[in-house]
Chains A and B, each alone.
Chain A
């Protein structure tokens, strides 16, 4: 990976995974350009904030990359416990104050425990399977503790209610269980069970506004000015972009405010209107490279913990990306998942850069071992 082992460059700098850093900077830079356009060709109110936030969080990610595998292993369960408490705290505060909220105010910053839980859950699951001897993999003891680890935070998040995050948590958790080597038929059976449970869950678990979103997704033309408005306007933005788009700063859907949330959840549509299919494919390629890097970090890792952590974190980023794009293209209901590194907002960026930071630390471990 590191081609820059020139003596002119200091050792710690040369050790950084520069190709990945360039990739992340490229995706985020593209994102900033889109936010600049979404604000009507201005740095305020989004692009500048987002740039500062990115630099801050990216520096943090570089710092995280200096941690060693044993640190992550050691902190996995305590972090999990703390974040779970945070989720509980949010829920209790919500009950007390009478209004639902998703964040905790730490004074200097607000934290969404549900976002932090995404990488932390992966660490906890990896730690659990790392501790589990290979011989136990086909026993019940390989299943229920992992399920418990997933279900506890998922249950707390779904009552917030935050359907998007719940889906990401459960899907990423299940992926780690799959990679850990649990029998395949469990997953096939699980998929069948979920398929059967979906109508029931729809009926009894979802809030009316969530049910509406799902129904609208299935039939957006039924309600073009109500909840179907988002999906329709997003498809108009993407579809009218054509091959090369209407040109930078020339999007009408976003600039004339027809596209709702054009700087957050639907930022991809804002981009596609101005850069067309070409820009879209470029962004998809960027994310594909990022995720493939994460999976390969896992494949090159030595310990079960690192393997599962790397693949799990890569998958978390994948789910963000895939669900968001499916949503803006009308393939999934509007669940409120941002496009990582591109959408305006701090929480998702923090989560994804934590994931990337941990991935970089595992990558560093791999390379140090090889040397």
Chain B
């Protein structure tokens, strides 16, 4: 700091004055800062008071929701189909989880988790958003639950809960009727932003009635306001508003009949629908095999999932609504009604020689030798194909299609609270032109008259068709008790025509028809029905010449579907039913099921007796067979992982008899 200009020399007096001035300045500045600090404080505590108060309250008070108890689902007599069980469970909250590996290891020790459980938990954790609880285990013993609670301070992110879990007493029998519940997904939360969906252990309906009737079943969550510390410790409860349970959902289903039908289907892949012919109330709607909704509601392991989705009997598909099948000969009573509407004389006969030539093509009757002279009654009762081919060609496709639609085929039933319905196809010339841009051909009509070709229906539609034929009314299927659906007015068919068709159906069972063994073993109750066999493969000319292969000699997935539609009693119809057995090899697989299911409605003991005989042959009831199937699958998986053979038969044979390895 070199200076050219002369320095101002400072003496002691000047120095003192300067100090006084500067000290005053300093004191003033300090006072100013103090004033500013006071002003700042006043600003925060007065002007911004409201805002900070709010934050202080939201710090202090924690609002926690009490999940409402879900409404029960009961059958028409009040028997529980879905109920709640008190339950000890443990969840993980991903947000608060710090060392997942250590914590999962600790929980594995405490709760004896299997490797599958751990794999599922890890997969769920990867998928879960921060707020979404991941279930570790439920249905715990009190000792296990207490063991986790004691170690809670060392297990951040672990949430033990005492709550309710959904319980379906009939298990798989109602899986495709009521669906199941599960933890809400991220998408489901983001849709509504309802905070109750974030509460650990809270579950919502995931399929069928549990899903579609969610609002009815859910109830109102309760709330608890509590004072908590920053570490989340409870200081005291401030107030509690109790939850309101969901409403009971009463179904038209008969729980006993539903369970019986599920058991009676046995190892087959099939479905049974039973309806009230007068009201349209559905008494049973069964699709088997099925998953166990109890284990689905808990979250299932990968292995379970793989087993279910690899099964060729498709336990994950609700066949009553999602299964589409060619109706086969079950459409013949309906087609007869169409013929009567076109003034065909029911006594006119057609000669069936087993085959006929129409529009340059060869068409065969299912009976190679032919039926001889057939009128309408015989054509229905003995299911003569040639009769319907020739009559069909005479009146053309349109009357058949109109009658089919009037009786419920191709119809979507809007009154049903179901998340999906595959409603199939009723083909006619307009439909074909629109769908393929091709003209309707005579052979299309021929195929349609025996329910093959483009025609596809689901089992529910077949039951509705049967109910409408039996009652002559436009009944609408429904599942909720007390629900009235308009449209049960009379159908526009003459009683005389309906009587002819009904007699034909009665003769199928009680006359010399195709399903004599379907007769009900109940005094004074007669069953009327119609068999159907739906081909799933094309029979070549060469095969026809050398003899059509029997179903038993074919691989399972190439065998014909077996169908049966029916109603009872014949004199005053009350119950209508449809049974479809996938690849059952023909209608012979279907009508015994229908017979036993309808027997159950009149004589439960007799029906159970028959069932027990069957189950002994199948190797136990549903639960036993499912457990065995799972054990076999597990063994096969383990063998596959170990690099050995995957076929269970070979697996057995490859074992050393000495060591068992």
Contact = CB atoms under 8 A, between A and B. Distances in A.
Contacts of A140: 1
13 contacts: A135-B9, A179-B19, A233-B59, A236-B56, A239-B55, A242-B53, A277-B42, A284-B37, A284-B38, A298-B23, A308-B19, A322-B30, A322-B34
Contacts of B38: 280-281, 284
A125 interface: no
Contacts of A206: none
A112 interface: no
A157 to B, nearest CB: 23
B48 A239 contact: yes
Interface string B44-76: 111011011101100110000000000000000
B41 interface: yes
A237 B56 contact: yes
Contact of B10 (A138, A175, A276): A138
Nearest to B50: A239
Interface string B175-197: 00000000000000000000000
Contacts of A179: 19, 22-23, 26
B546 interface: no
Interface in A204-263: 232-233, 235-243, 252-253, 256-258
A288 to B, nearest CB: 5
A111 to B, nearest CB: 29
A329 B55 CA distance: 16
A86 B33 CA distance: 33
Interface in A110-137: 134-135, 137
Contact of B45 (A242, A315, A331): A242
Nearest to B3: A138
Q: Interface size class for chain A?
A: 35 or more
Contacts of A348: none
B8 interface: yes
A257 B11 CA distance: 59
B23 A256 contact: no
Contacts of A311: 23, 26
A58 interface: no
Interface string B360-396: 0000000000000000000000000000000000000
A45 interface: no
Residue picked from B12, B31, B38, most chain A C-beta under 10 Å: B38
B231 interface: yes
A347 interface: no
B7 A284 contact: no
A239 B31 contact: no
A241 to B, nearest CB: 5
A75 interface: no
A234 B37 CA distance: 15
B644 interface: no
A256 B41 contact: no
B40 interface: yes
Given A134-B15, A239-B56, A243-B46, 5 more contacts: A181-B19, A232-B55, A235-B44, A292-B27, A318-B33
Interface of A: 134-135, 137-140, 143, 175, 178-181, 232-233, 235-243, 252-253, 256-258, 272, 276-277, 280-281, 284, 287-288, 291-292, 295-296, 298-299, 304, 307-308, 311, 315, 318, 322, 325-326, 329, 331
A299 B24 CA distance: 9
Given A241-B45, A277-B46, A315-B26, A307 B19 contact: yes
Kindly list the 8 A-B residue pairs having the minimum CB-CB distance in the complex, ordered from nearest: A239-B52, A240-B56, A257-B230, A295-B27, A256-B229, A252-B60, A277-B45, A239-B44
Contacts of A138: 7-10
B228 to A, nearest CB: 7
Contacts of A235: 44, 52
A281 B53 CA distance: 20
Interface in B378-430: none
Contacts of B227: 252, 256
Contacts of A318: 30, 33
Given A242-B53, A329-B40, A175 B34 contact: no
Given A235-B52, A256-B235, A257-B231, A175 B26 contact: yes
A50 B270 CA distance: 82
A135 B44 contact: no
B230 A178 contact: no
Contacts of A243: 45-46
B20 interface: yes
Contacts of A287: 34
B232 to A, nearest CB: 10
Contacts of A277: 41-42, 45-46
Given A239-B44, A239-B49, A252-B59, A325 B37 contact: yes
